[in-house]
Amino acid sequence: MPRYGMVIDTKKCVGCQDCVVACKTENNIPEGYNRDWIVTEVKGKFPTVQMEIRTERCNHCSNTPCVSCCPTGASHIHEFGGIVLVDHEMCIGCKACVEACPYDARYIHPDGYADKCTFCINRVEKGQNPACVEVCPTHCMYFGDLDDPNSEVSKLLQSRKWHVNLPDAGTEPNIFYLI
């Protein structure tokens, strides 16, 4: 069974927001909501200031506070590749999972259930890439099996330096940023 994750090359990302639009179109995201977004981080000391542009979304963490806090079992780890999902029919909209995610990756859909990135499971199950990966004009995003040492994502992680977001929060994210 694969363990899906994403590797994002921050050297290539230009923050064009194509991934954001692709996600909105593919997943019919209501107006004013985001399953993925762009973060620009500027840090350093003049004159050596650095800027990183990255596309962010649910990290499909290996240690999932959003799943363990869910009182109904609606938030769950799908058997298919460890993707973290919400069963809309089971969710009561108690918002515990939204509070529990240190990345603030979730929101409450206007229809009343918790919602977030699904890695486009509908596409992935057909062997396709998530919509955001597919449309990226700079090809900065890679999707694949982290447990397979021969996958493109594994190879990139072995050959390049990378970081994850908020490692101290202890969620073991599966979205990696190449630096």
Instruction: Give the nearer residue to another protein in terms of CB position, either 103 or 143.
Output: 103
| Residues within window 34-73 making contact with another protein, judged by CB under 8 A | 34, 37-46, 49, 56, 65, 68-73
How many residues bind to another protein according to rule CB under 8 A? 49
Considering only 112, 149, 152, 179, the residue that binds another protein (CB under 8 A) is 112
Q: Give the shortest CB-95-to-ligand SF4 separation in angstroms.
A: 5
Query: What is the DSSP secondary-structure string of the chain?
Result: ---EEEEEETTT-----HHHHHHHHHHTPPTT--SSEEEEEEEEETTEEEEEEEEE-----SS-HHHHT-SSS-EEE-TTTT-EEE-TTT-----HHHHH-TT---EE-TTSSEE---TTHHHHTTTPPPHHHHH-TT--EEEEETT-TTSHHHHHHHHS-EE-S-GGG----SEEEE-
Residues at the interface with another protein (CB under 8 A): 17, 20, 32-34, 37-46, 49, 56, 65, 68-74, 89-96, 98-102, 104, 106-108, 111-113, 166, 168-170
